[in-house]
Amino acid sequence: MSMISENIDRVQNDINSACISVGRDPSEVTLIAVSKTKPVEMLKAAYDHGCRNFGENKVQELTAKMPALPDDISWHMIGHLQTNKVKYIVGKVVLIHSVDSYKLAETINDQAAKAGCIQDILLEMNLAGEESKFGSADPEINRQLIRDVSGLDYVRLCGLMTVAPYVEDPEENRVYFRQLRDMIYGDMREYFPEKPLLSMGMSGDYKVAVEEGATHVRVGSSIFGERNYNI
């Protein structure tokens, strides 16, 4: 079996065990294979092993890979999105995870209206307040963003997303995963669907994220290996 197949099996087994340990049904969790910087051949290997959800963080890379792979793939936009690039992905990705401002949500709304579709989105929150990351750490700003975005007709607010800090011990991120879940299940519950989505957990911390209620984990290097940005 190839390295990628083995990796997918290992990650999926970890997800299943984490679910069982907290009484969740593993079918509630979608594993997104984060394929940024990786060649199409590696995505094909993951596809052949059963992966149907792929995540990319750049519009150009996403739209280049899409036509090179089978059309029963669900593509996820997980990276920072500029308003001028929204038109290239609206209606083509199942979910935009990284909506971090009202202006961006409004642009997605306008483009979806034009395309005659409703775009599913998540709002990104930067709970640890890291400089390098997008979204706000301020609960009041985040609450206002939720209220404002829920008023748009052509975007469907499905849930929340966060990119937790890079840490040695994944337990350190449990607090942020809990905060994200509490943001939905607290006094903002009415703004989210019956089954809200929580996109949280990456290679270093997806088990803890699943224990805390993640419905989508975004796993890159644990499936495809380390990324090399210098090529």
Ligand X SMILES: *Cc1c(COP(=O)(O)O)cnc(C)c1O
CA 18, CA 64: separation in Å to the nearest integer? Answer: 35
User: Is 121 a residue that touches ligand X (CB under 6 A)?
Assistant: no
- The reply to whether 81 sits near ligand X by the rule CB under 6 A is no
Segment 211 to 230, residues that bind ligand X, using CB under 6 A: 218-222
Instruction: Please pick, from the candidates 31, 78, 89, 200, the single residue that binds ligand X as defined by CB under 6 A.
Output: 78
Look at residues 102, 108, 111 and name the one whose alpha carbon lies nearest to residue 143.
102
Task: Please report how many Cα atoms fall inside a 13 Å half-sphere around the Cα of residue 105, on the Cβ side.
Answer: 24
Nearest distance from residue 23's CB to ligand X, in Å? Answer: 26
- Taking the least distance from each CB to ligand X, the nearer of 11 and 154 is 11
CB neighbours of 221 closer than 8 A, spacing ≥ 6? 203, 227
Contact mark string toward ligand X, 145..184, x via CB under 6 A: ------------------x---------------------
CA–CA separation, 123 and 158 (whole Å): 9
45 is a site residue for ligand X (CB under 6 A): no
Does residue 36 touch ligand X according to CB under 6 A? yes
- Contacting ligand X (CB under 6 A), which of 19, 79, 125, 149? 79
CB 125 within 8 A of CB 144: no
Residue 76: Cβ-neighbour burial (10 angstroms; 0-12, 13-18, 19+)? buried
Q: Does residue 57 touch ligand X according to CB under 6 A? A: yes
- By CB under 6 A, name the binding residues for ligand X: 34, 36, 57, 78-79, 163, 202-204, 218-222
